[in-house]
Amino acid sequence: MCRFLIYKGRDPILLAHLLTRPEHSIINQSYDSRLRIDTRRPINGDGFGVGYYTPEEDVELGDEPCIFCATTPAWNNMNLARLAEKTKSSMVFAHVRASTAGVLSETNCHPFSFHSFMFMHNGQIANFSQIKRRFSEHLKDEYFCFIQGSTDSEWAFALFLDTLDKLGADPKQSPRPSGFGHAVLRQAMELTIGYIRTWTMEAAVKQEGAVEPSLLNFAVTDGHSVVVTRYITSSTEEAASLHFSTGSKFIEYMPGQYRMERRDRRQDVILVASEPLTFERSDWVTIPTNTILTINNQTVLMHPIVDEFYQPDPSIMRSSNFAASRGLVSPIVEPQAYTNVQLPPLEREGRRRPSVAAA
């Protein structure tokens, strides 16, 4: 499996503080992943990618993100190290790849982009080859033709764009100054997951046998709002690991050692990561399985995905066996109190085990 990282801040951050300098940076995770126990493929060395947005006031550069990717291992790319030391951004997507579908090529490296959008994926769509035709039949021509690589992830991105388009929001346009809004992006993401869930279940019925779950940790942004999912098509298994951290500043207190500083209740810095960048347990909160997390104006919102795999009973624990078999474990981080994390009524009423306590 892969690893990804998201940074959204009020102020730009030097990419090196995310990619290279931390002792457990995402680049170091490409060869030293603490939550990856797959001895068959112990490293994430099948390429990498980093995408970031330039300042909005620089109109000449446009709304599209700048993306740098390569098929070389992230730890062995000097150009990435040089870029990280000289580039700042307030919205960053980074991804290191351990391929499950698609050959080793730059067209298969995440994040993918389409006009103002960026998208990345950690996981796999079960039996993708058997439902690929369903994707192609469903997509409008412009999104079908947009696909350049061979990964299930890029097809999922095309499906998201097509779904957003059919909801009445043209992905080729970037409404200023606040983008499309987190609500419509979340709706499109839920529908995208719903299509994939339906098609894989139909394929399972045709096979008349057990089909392994799909692991769908998706992340998408229009440069303003961010939508991230931690999802698996199972009511008994954990999804691939995913965590978030918020605070006033992400600081280096010793060479290579970072922590999330919280001087007040502001969320000037928001990080979402497959694997924590720091070893401070109190810095990170585990996102519950089958949950959508959105970031809107530096506010974190969490919504359960209520479908046939939704587990309303908080006393029932999911198994990590499947995630572990794919090189992932899902350690439970104790819930922390975040006053700016907003939970929808369904969670406030106690109908689901929350990972964050609303103050």
Residues labelled catalytic:
2
User: Kind of pairing, strands 356-357 and 336-337?
Assistant: parallel
Helix axes 182-207, 128-138, angle to 10 degrees: 130
C-alpha triplet 86, 89, 90: angle, nearest 5°:
155
Give the contacts of 173 (CB within 8 A, at least 6 positions apart).
115
Between CA 352 and CA 82 the distance in angstroms is 45
Give the contacts of 279 (CB within 8 A, at least 6 positions apart).
23, 24
Strand-by-strand arrangement of the 291-296 sheet: 112-114, 117-124, 215-221, 226-230, 291-296, 299-304
Place of tokens 């819930």: 335
Neighbour tally for 319: CB within 10 Å: 12
The answer to whether the CB of 184 falls within 8 A of the CB of 167 is: yes
CA nearest neighbour of 158 among 141, 174, 183: 141
Neighbour tally for 206: CB within 10 Å: 10
Element (H, E) at 8: strand 3-14
Place of tokens 């039949």: 137
What DSSP line would sit under 288-357, residue for residue? PSSEEEEEETTEEEEEE--STT----TTPPPB-HHHHHTT---PPPPPEE-TT-B--HHHHTTSS--SEE
Between CA 69 and CA 191 the distance in angstroms is 29
59, burial (CB in 10 Å: exposed 0-12, middle 13-18, buried 19+): exposed
Between CA 219 and CA 118 the distance in angstroms is 8
